[in-house]
Structure 1
């Protein structure tokens, strides 16, 4: 299995705060890599650097072995096959779920024009198929601002998948989702992404989600990768349990 994304020597400081302090990381093709760590550790900074929203002061990020991502605008990075979703869903809230999916498809094909019909037959058919994969077809005619948080998250990621990424970076995909809905939301997005053979990196605070769905886990701490390995190994590490999960190993009740 080859690396789809390779980061080397990433450094970025905001004043005296080191958001990235020599990050080296390979994201392997077709894997699901979870990034965990305390708030302020630099997790979202890594995603922002990888998708063109921030530029590091040193280092490199290579995609698919040949494409240097640093200096490229986010739109260009998306066209190369690197997608992302944000902690807060980026939906057109005044439009329906179907229209949101159609807008993403039209953007991918470069066919959107003011005053031209958006829901032309081919676009509508693909948008409906996309929503069906995410279990959202029954909500197609509902406005995005009327969805619960779980459906909003899925709709947001569906729009990212509409762009046909090979790599998708997700910033806290379960943030704000009700506990009762969380596992179903993650099961759906993991199923869709694996069926589409999309490599995924996701920042996550729910350790049950990480344990169940990640192939590997990277632990961020003060702008560095403190640990990297399979979930069973990482989540049972006493230092990770103390600094990230918030439990004291072998504590006496």
Structure 2
């Protein structure tokens, strides 16, 4: 596999707090990379820098060899990088199908409140997208009536409508009921892998990380403290103590 995204010596401080303190990370094509770590470690900051929502004070981020620093978020999206947020960014007064169609229209630069939203071409692509995510049964439901798992999948489906090569997800299972979590995770992993999308995701649930990640990067105080396959990282005693919160002698479910 070749390198899709390369971050080199990223540095960003907020006052005396170092959110990025020399981050070096290569993301490989088609891999699923999980980012874990305690709150305040700089995980979401990395996503925000990569997508142009924050500008580092030093370093470089290259995507397919092209420097991203200084580019606006919309320009970065056009290169093939999309993101989903911890809180789903949906048009709550619209249906699931309409949300998907809006994402398709936005990608085509054709979204306008004065033009029909569910034009045949947009509707067909939106329905195909919802079908891949198992969302067709909810197509006519308003977004504000969805449970959290369906909201999350709809939000990620809208990001996938942009046809990205790289998708960054901030806590894709946050708020999802425990009974629904693995179904949501397996659906999004299947769709993204089938589409050849590279995924970088921040996650606090180690069962999720162990289930779908190819590699795990451990963030701590703005640095990458460890990087490797899930079996190695999730069984590391320091990671178990400092990140997962497992005391010596306990057997973690995700790493068992």
Tell me the TM-score normalised to structure 2 length.
0.97
User: What is the match of residue 99 of structure 1?
Assistant: 98
Please give the residue correspondences for 1:159-174 in structure 2 after superposition, counting only pairs within 5 Å.
159-174=158-173
Deviations 1:104-134 (A, max 9, x none): 0000011122311110111111100100100
Please give the residue correspondences for 1:1-253 in structure 2 after superposition, counting only pairs within 5 Å.
1-65=1-65, 67-250=66-249
Cα RMSD over matched residues? 0.7
Secondary structure at the counterpart of residue 217 of structure 1 = strand
Q: For 1:48 and 1:197, locate their aligned partners in 2 and report how far apart those are by CA, in whole Å.
A: 23
The answer for unaligned runs of 5 or more in structure 1 is: none
Q: For 2:243 and 2:4, locate their aligned partners in 1 and report how far apart those are by CA, in whole Å.
A: 27
Structure 1 consecutive aligned stretches of length 4 or more whose deviation exceeds 2 Å: none
Deviations 1:177-228 (A, max 9, x none): 0000000000000000000000000000000110111000000000000000
User: What is the match of residue 253 of structure 2?
Assistant: none
Q: For 2:248 and 2:108, locate their aligned partners in 1 and report how far apart those are by CA, in whole Å.
A: 52
How far did 1:69 drift?
Answer: 0.6
How far did 1:250 drift?
Answer: 2.7
How far did 1:238 drift?
Answer: 0.4
Q: For 1:45 and 1:194, locate their aligned partners in 2 and report how far apart those are by CA, in whole Å.
A: 25
Q: For 2:112 and 2:42, locate their aligned partners in 1 and report how far apart those are by CA, in whole Å.
A: 39
Q: For 1:112 and 1:191, locate their aligned partners in 2 and report how far apart those are by CA, in whole Å.
A: 29
Q: For 2:191 and 2:177, locate their aligned partners in 1 and report how far apart those are by CA, in whole Å.
A: 21
Deviations 1:6-44 (A, max 9, x none): 000000000000000000000000000000000000000
Secondary structure at the counterpart of residue 135 of structure 1 = coil
Q: For 1:249 and 1:239, locate their aligned partners in 2 and report how far apart those are by CA, in whole Å.
A: 10
Q: For 2:96 and 2:185, locate their aligned partners in 1 and report how far apart those are by CA, in whole Å.
A: 19
Deviations 1:65-105 (A, max 9, x none): 2x111111111100000000000000000100000000000
User: Aligned pair count?
Assistant: 250
Q: For 2:89 and 2:244, locate their aligned partners in 1 and report how far apart those are by CA, in whole Å.
A: 29
Q: For 2:205 and 2:249, locate their aligned partners in 1 and report how far apart those are by CA, in whole Å.
A: 21
Deviations 1:128-161 (A, max 9, x none): 0100100000111100000000000000000000
